Amino acid sequence: MMLIAAGWIVVLLSLGGFALDRTLNGLVSRNFDEQLEYVMNAMIASAEIGPDGEVFFNRPLGDQRFLEPNSGRYWLVTGQGHENFPSRSLWDRSLELKHDHFDKAAHIYDNFQYPDEPLRVIERSVILPDSQTRWKFAVAASREDLDEQISRIRSILVWSFLVLGLGLFLMAALQSWYGLGPLRRVRLAIQHLRTTGQNRLIEPLPLEVQPLVQELNALLAHSEKQAEEARTHAGNLAHALKTPLTVVMNAATAKAPDLSDTVIREAAVMRRQVDHHLARARAVGRRAVGLSRASVAESVEAVLRAVTRLYEKTRFDLDGNRAAEVAIERQDLDEILGNLIENAAKYGGGSVFVTIDPTAEPEWCEIWVEDDGVGIPEAERTRIFDRGARLDTGKPGTGLGLAIVRDVAEIYGGSVTLEESEDLGGLLVKLRLPRASSRSAA
């Protein structure tokens, strides 16, 4: 920020200084030229033609420097066919004028005839009364005074702009340092947060950084929630594996005759628990990635193609809004719908009906999975979501399907409820998931 400010200060002051230098130099030069023009007009006004046809002045010029040799002020009157009429200050020198043109108006230019004394010359051509000759009047002055004034002005400009630029840079640096002060306070607050073990930024900070503080606190809360979820999953997994491991250890210690069957049975239990917690961990990780989007119809159709091969005698129907999209990863949606539709086919009477987005709520998308089975008693509809809970033990299963559905749905902010199907008479599972945000026009 300070380098950018310094660059702009240098550019703007350079442009401003150049423009001001041109303006002031023009004013000084114009004033100098006006003085020469005043003298030349006085010469023309006092010039007359004598009896011999030569020009003379009927009154002397007021500036005494025209009488002093090499004084820096000179004049000269010339005419074709006549002798030059110079000022005494020229002494034994002369001015080189151009006689091949006729200047009705004053003509001003620099003359470098004498290297040690550059001159500023103004000349004008005039035809005097009683004369047919084109007389050329010229007044010259040494540029020493003019150049000295210009040098003095430029020196003042350079030093003034240097001081101004330094002052502006210091002000810009101070402004940057002061403006970034809240960020330094945030850094110190984060350092204090790390050293003291606090989990939130509670120090009062300026309004300019409050949005940053709020987002940082939200990030800390999110990280804390993820860490707590990880600890909970680890504790649940350890607790779930503790009992099967104890059974296997006791059987091995007692050298039970059915040790192999016991190991296989308990290993299957441990494997189911590991699969369940891995599914939760994957869902949590994918949720943290960012915005997710999945088409409900595509996921349902993919699941139906797989489940139809397993339950060929079951009739599957699909209806509803096929354009509905939910804010969940496709893999997790497939796992949820796979459990729900497979359970409906397994425990139903031969008919499964899937309805997409029947309520058309603006923020939520519901997916209904109905079957024509015996259903689940209302008193058992809460317990059935517990890990390992099964009402029909006569059919193969792990008892983790609905638990996985509930856990993954809740990770994405959704929910699962069980009701009685009015159309088929069996179980109605209502899966509620957040609707994906509408795509931008881009």
Residue 90 tokens, joined: 């020229």
Quote the number of domains for the chain.
3
248 and 379 together in one domain = no
Residue 372, class by beta-carbon neighbours within 10 Å (0-12 exposed, 13-18 middle, 19+ buried)? buried
139 and 220 together in one domain = no
Query: Amino acid letter at 96?
Result: E
So what's the pLDDT on residue 135? 87
Other residues' Cβ atoms within 10 Å of the Cβ of residue 399: 16
pLDDT tens figures, 43-66: 888 888 888 888 888 888 878 888
363 to 14, 53, 117, 194, 371: CA distances (angstroms): 59, 111, 91, 38, 27
300 and 259 together in one domain = no
125 and 42 together in one domain = yes
What percentage of the chain has pLDDT greater than the value 90? 26
319 and 387 together in one domain = yes
19 and 134 together in one domain = yes
Identify whether 199 is part of a domain: no
Residue 393's SS3 state is coil
pLDDT tens figures, 251-276: 888 888 888 888 888 888 788 777 76
Distance between CA atoms of residues 207 and 204, nearest Å = 9
- Residues in the chain where the model's pLDDT stays below 70: 99-101, 233, 236, 239-240, 276-277, 279-291, 385-401, 438-442
So what's the pLDDT on residue 233? 66
User: Which residues lie closer than 8 Å to 151 by C-beta, 6 or more apart?
Assistant: none
Other residues' Cβ atoms within 10 Å of the Cβ of residue 403: 20
273 and 386 together in one domain = no
pLDDT tens figures, 340-387: 999 899 888 899 999 999 988 889 999 999 999 888 888 887 777 665
Identify whether 195 is part of a domain: no
Provide the CA 407 distance to its chain's centre, in angstroms: 39
β pairing state of 73-79 and 85-86: antiparallel
Residue 384 tokens, joined: 């059935």
Distance between CA atoms of residues 257 and 28, nearest Å = 119
Q: Domain end: 236, 255, 286, which one? A: 286
Q: How far apart are the first and last CA of the chain?
A: 34
- For every residue of 258-299, DSSP letters joined together read THHHHHHHHHHHHHHHHHHHHHHHHHHHHHTTS---EEHHHH
Q: Domain end: 121, 150, 179, which one? A: 150
Phi, psi angles (nearest 5°) of residue 78: -130, 155
CB 123 within 8 A of CB 141: no
So what's the pLDDT on residue 100? 66
Residue 163 tokens, joined: 């001081």
322 and 385 together in one domain = yes
β pairing state of 135-142 and 73-79: antiparallel
So what's the pLDDT on residue 239? 67
CATH of the domain at 129: 3.30.450
261 to 230, 245, 247, 251: CA distances (angstroms): 33, 14, 12, 10
CATH of the domain at 369: 3.30.565.10
So what's the pLDDT on residue 139? 92
Q: Which one, of 369, 269, 270, lies nearest residue 316 by Cα?
A: 369
345 to 117, 309, 331, 340, 378: CA distances (angstroms): 114, 11, 21, 9, 20
pLDDT tens figures, 300-313: 999 999 899 888 88
User: Which residues lie closer than 8 Å to 175 by C-beta, 6 or more apart?
Assistant: none
380 and 265 together in one domain = no
Residue 370, class by beta-carbon neighbours within 10 Å (0-12 exposed, 13-18 middle, 19+ buried)? buried
27 and 96 together in one domain = yes
Residues of the domain holding 120: 2-150
20 and 124 together in one domain = yes
